[in-house]
Structure 1
Amino acid sequence: MFWYDPTFIILVPALLLSLWASITVQSRFAQYSRVRSRIGMTGVELARFILDSAGLYNVRIERIHGSLTDHYDPREKVVRLSQATYSSDSIAALGVVAHEIGHAIQDAKGYTPLVIRNAIAPVAQFSSNLAWVFFIIGLVTGMFGLAKFGIILFSIAVLFTIITLPVEFDASRRALQILEKNLLMPADELKGVKAVLSAAAMTYVAAMLMAVLQLIRMILIARRD
């Protein structure tokens, strides 16, 4: 069967990068979670301060379960902070919170890559779920038109991962700028924030690489069959 195909080796670099990125982000977050920031704010206090300073009074803040589950929801206009960051005053927590507020600011300013990502997100999720279904059915039945349609669907998911990169990198840039210029975070603490956010960014790079290599693999399998 095609899922045992030797072309699976194409995915090895992405798998290794994903493993390294996951271990690194967990390690750095744990490391800097033990270091309290001298800013004197918890995650939720920092979030509210930055949002209000940017005039985003309508953006709510919610607490959610989990660790590193923090995210900004552009549909609900809400920043959701995890248990690991909401009440924490650590360098790691403040860096993650500032990053998510960076997304809220992107949304408010109509940052183009974010607008594009939000627009294709529902389609990308749909495409990602169904791409392999059409691809497998097409190969098994010999209906290669279906297999090609599966490749097209998966291409949309790949595009989503590519567009995600500038969105995430820009949010981190905004976060560092806010912490440095608006809150005067000391240089040694900024170094820790950069370490955490850089590791987190690599998880998105790994996801993009995995998607691209999966697409290449699908094309090779379709051509062979």
Structure 2
Amino acid sequence: MFSLLFLLPGMLLMLWAQFHVKGTYQKYAQVGSNMGMTGAQVAEKILREMGITNVSVEPIPGELTDHYDPSAKAVRLSEVVYDSTSLAAAAVAAHECGHVLQDVQGYKPMNIRAALVPAVGFGSNIGPILIMLGFGLGAMGGISTLFINIGILLFSCVVLFHIVTLPVEFDASNRALRLINDLGILQGEEHRGAKKVLNAAALTYVATALYSVLQLIQLLLSRRN
């Protein structure tokens, strides 16, 4: 019961953040921009104006699946963003281009996050298994403690990944807002709408990071008991 109550604030914040970002996105997905540029056109304009010619802009299935793939040098926009002329689409497309600029300029937090990806994949799958195995073998003393400690160490990589993600995402959003303003893509009330979309999205990363930290603290406390 204590474990559930300890994690409850993080769980509630995650649920609220997901609800908030979906509601904000849907609101501004219904508002067209004065320039009438699709998400794809916004991304292409930003990349062209920044002199970046080796990054493609591609559509992908799904909703809110937008991302920048640095290994493929591709900005991948969900189909609803790729073809939409809404404020939300422009904000999302510009945000992903912010990641492109981070990659081009060697933004350190982004490089750190990329370096953590292999450990995160391993830690998120194997870490919980070792922790549960360790608690299950509680009577075996040293062996169970070893499993728990290794599992917590692996899970710590996941937590670090979520923490490092925060400056990466906030910086990409700040770059996006400057770009859409400087290039005249969105201005005035449009710019404020785009900022609301990006701020709502940022809350999901904050909530995820907080929840992962609470999970780690809860594991450390459980190890001591």
Task: Tell me if TM exceeds 0.5.
Answer: yes
Residue matched to 1:152: 153
Aligned Cα root-mean-square deviation (Å): 1.0
Establish whether residue 130 from structure 1 lines up as the match of residue 126 from structure 2: yes
Q: Tell me how far 1:186 sits from its aligned partner.
A: 1.9
The question of whether the paired residues in 2 share the 8 Å contact of 1:102 and 1:172 is answered with: yes
Q: Tell me how far 1:56 sits from its aligned partner.
A: 1.5
Residue matched to 1:177: 178
Establish whether residue 119 from structure 1 lines up as the match of residue 115 from structure 2: yes
Work out the CA distance in 2 between the residues paired with 1:88 and 1:184: 14
Residue matched to 2:96: 100
Q: Tell me how far 1:135 sits from its aligned partner.
A: 0.5
Instruction: Check 1:184–1:86 CA distance in 2 against 1; reply closer, same or farther (3 A cut).
Output: closer
Structure 2: runs of 5+ lacking an equivalent: 139-143
Work out the CA distance in 2 between the residues paired with 1:184 and 1:34: 17
Q: 1:24 aligns with which of 20, 38, 56?
A: 20
Letter of the 2:215 counterpart: Q
The question of whether the paired residues in 2 share the 8 Å contact of 1:8 and 1:217 is answered with: no
Which whole-Å deviations, capped at 9, do the CAs of 1:80-133 have from their partners, x for residues lacking one? 000110011100110001000100110011001001101111111211111111
Work out the CA distance in 2 between the residues paired with 1:163 and 1:60: 26
The question of whether the paired residues in 2 share the 8 Å contact of 1:63 and 1:81 is answered with: yes
TM-score, reference length from structure 2:
0.95
What is the 5 A alignment of 1:196-211?
196-211=197-212
Establish whether residue 74 from structure 1 lines up as the match of residue 65 from structure 2: no
Letter of the 1:42 counterpart: T
Residue matched to 1:10: 6
Residue matched to 2:217: 216
Residue matched to 1:110: 106
Q: Tell me how far 1:184 sits from its aligned partner.
A: 5.2
Alignment length, in residue pairs? Answer: 220
Residue matched to 1:86: 82
Work out the CA distance in 2 between the residues paired with 1:181 and 1:154: 41
Letter of the 2:51 counterpart: G
TM-score, reference length from structure 1:
0.95
Letter of the 1:168 counterpart: E
Which whole-Å deviations, capped at 9, do the CAs of 1:121-162 have from their partners, x for residues lacking one? 111121111111111111111311110111111111100000
Work out the CA distance in 2 between the residues paired with 1:183 and 1:131: 47
Work out the CA distance in 2 between the residues paired with 1:55 and 1:84: 26
Mean CA deviation greater in 52-61 or 171-180: 52-61
Q: 1:48 aligns with which of 27, 44, 49?
A: 44
Say which SS state the counterpart of residue 62 (structure 1) adopts: strand
Q: 1:140 aligns with which of 128, 136, 149?
A: 136
The question of whether the paired residues in 1 share the 8 Å contact of 2:42 and 2:185 is answered with: no
Say which SS state the counterpart of residue 81 (structure 2) adopts: coil
